[in-house]
Amino acid sequence: MSLAAIFSRVAGIVITIFVIATINFVLVRAAPGDPAAVIAGQSGATDEKFLAQVRAEYGLDQPYVVQLGAYLGKVATLDLGYSYRLRRPVKDLIAERLGPTLLLTLSAFLISLLGGVVFGALAGVRHGKISDLAISLLALILYATPVFWFGLMLVLLFSIKLEWLPAFGYVDMRAGSFGPFAYALDVLKHLCLPALTLGAIYMAMYARLMRASVIEVAAEDYIKTARAKGLTEGAILRGHMLRNASLPVITFAGLQVGAMIGGAVVVETVFSWPGLGRLIFDAVTSRDYPVLLGLFLVMSILVIAVNLLTDLIHRLVDPRLAVR
Amino acid sequence: MNDSIRTFLRQPSGLLGLAILFLVCLAAALAPILYPGSPWDMVGAPLQPPGTAGSLLGTDTMGRDIASGILHGASVSLMIGIASTIAALAVGVTLGAIAGYAGGMVDRLIVRFIEIFQTIPNFVLAILLVAILTPSISTIILAIGLVSWPPLARLTRVQVQSIAAREFVQAARCQGLGSMSILLRHVIPNAISPIIVTGSMTVASAILIEAALSFMGLGDPNYMSWGYMIGAGRTVIRMAWWASLFPGLAILLTAVAINLIGEALNDALNPRISRS
């Protein structure tokens, strides 16, 4: 990457964060009622003295431009405000919830990509046969399934009827007495259903894409050449088709991470998974707006970071991109 | 156009989609006749299994009839799905058409703007909008519309770009037509069919977003909604599976039907793309 390209990339990121912070700022002012009450996270009965204090701290009696400047300054110094409900800085609340969300999203991402590539390739190779129809039909249905409902149905089947896996939470309540290995195993057990729920919907999307990609690649000349030189179908699939066909799927999957972090919100709500999404649900229920605004900002930055990371990985995997 | 209708009707999956969607519309229309009372009213003992005491699909924690809720919820889901798609089309097609037709600096600015909106986790933005502006039908439509327009804008931009370079557009320009009338009368009508297809799929995703919002407790408190019913059934799933199973099936069927119609429309309106 040239210096100019890096510079324009960094500028793009700064502009994006600026726009997101501005959306936050505008929303608080567009909300019905007093912005001080919105920031204080209270509705109805309000303490005038407390509101005056909030007004002074956020400079709400100043012109909008000054207010916006003050808010952006706070964002730039990573000051995300204070949750008056939970009596803790928003930054701390978010920091302790980041780990579980990353664990859930990353697991779901791997499940969806792996499953999508495998099932999509299977359907593509058996184009028009029964197994293709079955996979395509399943993908169509999964794609139209509400994520949170799918999670509940998995709980119904695997936790309530079969009693194989825990229905909610991050670890068992007795986990304090577990050794490190037993603790990790317990988290893994709790992770299964949420990760599968979040991953399955995206798996359907990637499987459809992979299927189309395999069918397209199968018609290429180099596949005919491979066949002509006497390679077995298995060797052609492994050596020539899979790699080329999965590239567009991986590119697309990288772009979907943002939507996946959004999807994690409902999944964490269903499974009481103690991540950022569950924090959003609690903040919505208790109308804790500083937490909501801070979460929106942090989750957006998370998406930007992941996009940057997938782009870098992509350049390593596919050297043709680095040249361009 | 007749050809397109014939191609559409020749596809069994598209017909199946139409049939399911017709049933959903019928459910919405018949709700006030079959269940004249409010779906929020208690009709019997709470948590009754399906088939008992006159409730076809059982009752929920408050003794409300699940079947009545599903029928009454149908019109809300369809209405929000369609209205928010129209909002998304208005923003997306306008911005996309301006970017694609104007080109240059304007194009680059709009593309940047679209990219920023595609980076933002859109469900989180929808939650934020509805929560802060207080939940109601209009804020929900606004929020879903505001997070659904970027793909439509991208598509419109590419379409308009390719149509605007054609000879008949240059001919129109030589005749002295203004940019606005060229865009509205010659470019957009020729660019519209893939936008219709993507727009129809947007209705399905809007219905899914609405369900997720009301599941999170951000539905309009005046209207029964499928997502709300699943959210209410979540806490009692051990005792009453029916309270969450049936509303979910309703969402699933509606979304599948709309996607089937969208795919059949795609084959009918864009024959070259689907055959290649």
Q: CA end-to-end span of chain B, whole Å?
A: 21
pLDDT in tens, A241-297: 888 888 888 888 877 887 788 889 999 998 988 889 889 888 888 878 888 888 888
* Domain co-membership, A57 together with A102: no
Q: What is the pTM of this model?
A: 0.88
For residue B190, pLDDT over 60 is answered with yes
Is A61 part of a structural domain of the chain?
yes
Are B84 and B148 in contact, with CB atoms under 8 Å apart? yes
When the pLDDT of each residue in chain B is averaged and rounded to a whole number, the result is 86
Is B245 part of a structural domain of the chain?
yes
Interface test with B, best of A42, A148, A153, A159 (most B CBs within 10 A): A148
Is A319 buried (19+), middle (13-18) or exposed (0-12) by CB count in 10 A? exposed
CB proximity A99 to B under 8 Å: no
- Interchain CB distance below 8 Å, B237 and A28: no
What is the reported pLDDT for A197?
Answer: 93
Q: Which residue of A has its CA nearest to B214?
A: A266
Only one residue has tokens 């697309």, namely A252
Enclosing H/E stretch for A83: strand A82-83
CB proximity A297 to B under 8 Å: no
Residues of A in contact with B121 (CB under 8 A): 258-259, 261-262, 299-300, 303
CB proximity A200 to B under 8 Å: no
What is the reported pLDDT for A322?
Answer: 59
State both tokens at A20: 């997101």
Q: Where in the sequence is the domain holding A48, given as residue range(s)?
A: 3-76
Q: In this structure, what CATH number is given to the domain that contains residue B118?
A: 1.10.3720.10
Q: In this structure, what CATH number is given to the domain that contains residue A213?
A: 1.10.3720.10
For residue A130, pLDDT over 50 is answered with yes
CB proximity A141 to B under 8 Å: yes
Is A316 part of a structural domain of the chain?
no
B275 pLDDT band, cuts 50/70/90, is very low
Only one residue has tokens 């596949």, namely A223
* Domain co-membership, A124 together with A247: yes
What is the reported pLDDT for B34?
Answer: 81
User: Nearest CA of chain A to the CA of B81: how many Å?
Assistant: 14
Is B229 part of a structural domain of the chain?
yes
* Angle (deg, nearest 10), helices A242-271 and A180-218: 140
* Angle (deg, nearest 10), helices B104-119 and A289-317: 110
Closest CA to B131 of A291, A239, A53: A291
What is the reported pLDDT for A158?
Answer: 85
Is B157 part of a structural domain of the chain?
yes
Q: For residue A179, report the phi and psi dihedrals to the nearest 5 degrees.
A: -75, 170
What is the reported pLDDT for A46?
Answer: 62
The residue with greater pLDDT, B72 or A32, is B72
Last residue of a domain, one of A16, A51, A76: A76
Is A112 part of a structural domain of the chain?
yes
H helix runs in B12-121, sequence order: 12-34, 66-102, 104-119
Residues of B in contact with A299 (CB under 8 A): 121, 124
Residues facing residue B64 across a β-bridge: B42
* Domain co-membership, A223 together with A114: yes
* Domain co-membership, A55 together with A144: no
Is A154 part of a structural domain of the chain?
yes
Is A232 part of a structural domain of the chain?
yes
- Interchain CB distance below 8 Å, B132 and A27: yes
Exposure of B49 in the CB half-sphere (CA atoms within 13 A) = 2
* Domain co-membership, A95 together with A72: no
Only one residue has tokens 């730039």, namely A76
For residue A27, pLDDT over 70 is answered with yes
Are B227 and B214 in contact, with CB atoms under 8 Å apart? yes
Q: How many domains does chain B have?
A: 1
* Domain co-membership, A151 together with A203: yes
Interface test with A, best of B108, B123, B133 (most A CBs within 10 A): B123
* Domain co-membership, A35 together with A100: no
Q: Which residue of A has its CA nearest to B246?
A: A149
Q: Which residue of B has its CA nearest to A137?
A: B256
What is the reported pLDDT for B105?
Answer: 92
Q: How many domains does chain A have?
A: 2
Is B166 part of a structural domain of the chain?
yes
Are A126 and A136 in contact, with CB atoms under 8 Å apart? no
Last residue of a domain, one of A33, A50, A76: A76
Chain A and chain B share a number of CB contacts under 8 A equal to 139
What is the reported pLDDT for B271?
Answer: 62
Out of A23, A152, A284, closest to residue B216 by CB: A284
Only one residue has tokens 């689907």, namely B274
Out of A176-180, A195-199, A314-318, the most confident range is A195-199
Residues of B in contact with A287 (CB under 8 A): 131
Per-residue exposure over B156-179, b if at least 16 CB sit within 10 Å of its own CB, e if not: bbebbbebbeeeebeebeeeeeee
What is the reported pLDDT for A151?
Answer: 92
* Domain co-membership, A49 together with A129: no
Is B31 part of a structural domain of the chain?
no
* Domain co-membership, A130 together with A233: yes
Is B155 part of a structural domain of the chain?
yes
pLDDT in tens, B144-159: 999 999 999 999 999 9
Out of A255, A266, A299, closest to residue B216 by CB: A266
Out of A90-94, A186-190, B207-211, the most confident range is B207-211
* Domain co-membership, A33 together with A142: no
What's the whole-number mean pLDDT along residues B230-257? 89
Is A49 part of a structural domain of the chain?
yes
A42 pLDDT band, cuts 50/70/90, is low
Is B250 part of a structural domain of the chain?
yes
* Domain co-membership, A210 together with A106: yes
Enclosing H/E stretch for A247: helix A242-271
pLDDT in tens, A199-250: 998 999 999 899 988 888 888 888 888 888 888 888 888 888 888 888 888 8
SS3 B65: strand
Is B47 part of a structural domain of the chain?
no
Measured CA to CA, the distance from residue A13 to residue B40 in angstroms comes to 47
Q: Which residues contact B43 (CB under 8 A, 6 or more apart)?
A: B37, B54, B55, B59, B63, B64, B65, B68
For residue A154, pLDDT over 70 is answered with yes
Q: Where in the sequence is the domain holding B190, given as residue range(s)?
A: 9-24+65-271
What's the whole-number mean pLDDT along residues B56-84? 86
Are A241 and A228 in contact, with CB atoms under 8 Å apart? no
Q: Which residues contact B25 (CB under 8 A, 6 or more apart)?
A: B74, B78
| C-alpha dist (Å) from residue A99 to A217, A221, B54 | 39, 47, 49
For residue A173, pLDDT over 80 is answered with no
* Domain co-membership, A125 together with A226: yes
Amino acid occupying residue B57: L
For residue B85, pLDDT over 90 is answered with yes
Chain A, window 31-50: residues with a beta carbon less than 8 angstroms from a chain B beta carbon: 31-32, 38
CB proximity A299 to B under 8 Å: yes
Is A55 part of a structural domain of the chain?
yes
State ipTM: 0.86
Measured CA to CA, the distance from residue A97 to residue A53 in angstroms comes to 29
| C-alpha dist (Å) from residue A105 to A165, A183, A266, A269 | 19, 20, 12, 14
Is A299 part of a structural domain of the chain?
no
Q: Which of A168-172, A286-290, B240-244 has the lowest mean pLDDT?
A: A168-172
